[in-house]
Structure 1
Amino acid sequence: MGQIKLNQVTKAYGDVEVIPPLDLTIEDGEFTVFVGPSGCGKSTLLRMIAGLEDLTSGKVAIDGADATNTPPAKRGLAMVFQSYALYPHMSVRKNIAFPMKMAGIDPEEQNRRIEAAAKALNLTDYIDRRPGQLSGGQRQRVAIGRAIVRSCESLLRSCSMNRYPISTPHCVSGCGWKSAKCTSGSRLR
């Protein structure tokens, strides 16, 4: 499970084509990275896969089923945004719990997943802090934690690596993806 297939996917804003026709298959367990300059469409592509952005044309299939018109919540995907999209008034614990609460997951199971994610992402000591009290790297790990507790099929992550020191991307990626072992599926970045 977790295969993502794009068939002639395109995106245009008016006459400006930002994603030319793209065919791509990402198999279960594959780690795929889209690399390019700022503004070339990497995040747009991830948002289209997640269902957060409409395609201009083409099809998105997840596990062999056409997901082109499937709502984002029903695609079995989680996305970590470049801005992290954390709630500033909520603690780390509540930020990580939020998608599980919305999905109606039992509070006891929520706590189990929160503790596991916090431990895997080295956030245990910060669990009761708010995002404003965390470093950028810690906020990023909270966003990853919020995504992986959903037990999604695939994890999409949009991030700009140009703001991290040369040694950080490997460390941050390794930390985030290693902890994602509790979920199955493809991991895109």
Structure 2
Amino acid sequence: MTIGEKIQFYREIRGLSQTALAELSDVSINTLRKYENNTRNPKPEQVQKIANALQISIHALIDIDIKSIDDIAPYLFEIAKIGGVEFCGEKDASGKYIKNSITLQFKSDVLKIFIKEWADKQEVINKLRNDAKNSPDEQAKEYLLKRADEIEQEIHLRIIDSPRMIDNSKGISVRIYPTNN
């Protein structure tokens, strides 16, 4: 998703017109249209103004280009600093973790709740999309896909409407599986 698409996405979730967002962010309507049409990229100051007007973190609008483990590592380090991370898993005779058994366990109750809610909703979304894929009825297929999209928007709404503070409590585990390259 481009930054312009993200601006439009969050603006629509908030139920704002382009005019309303332009006024709230002190960005001209023509400039905002150019951002949303991807004919112009906003400067960092403009992104901050728009994020403030949308009441979201600037990070929700900024593109994250992840192509390798090196791109992910800084985010994992930040998550570890803020939410607390423990490594769990089986170890070999030398005391080193076995690749296929290692998990990250988050200490933050807030982070655990968020990940649990996200995982639960993602299961529903996946089931709806799978049911749509296997449905011979076009009307049912359309309904199921629309419902999956609505639930995805609910996830985004939940994130932007309930800012969460990270605490350092007991963990939730995330298993990292190696690829078979």
Same fold at TM > 0.5:
no
The alignment's TM-score, normalised by the length of structure 1, stands at 0.31
Q: Could you state the TM-score of these two structures normalised by the residue count of structure 2?
A: 0.32
Higher helix share: 2
Structure showing greater relative contact order (alpha-carbon pairs closer than 8 Å, 6 or more residues apart): 1
Structure number, greater radius of gyration: 2
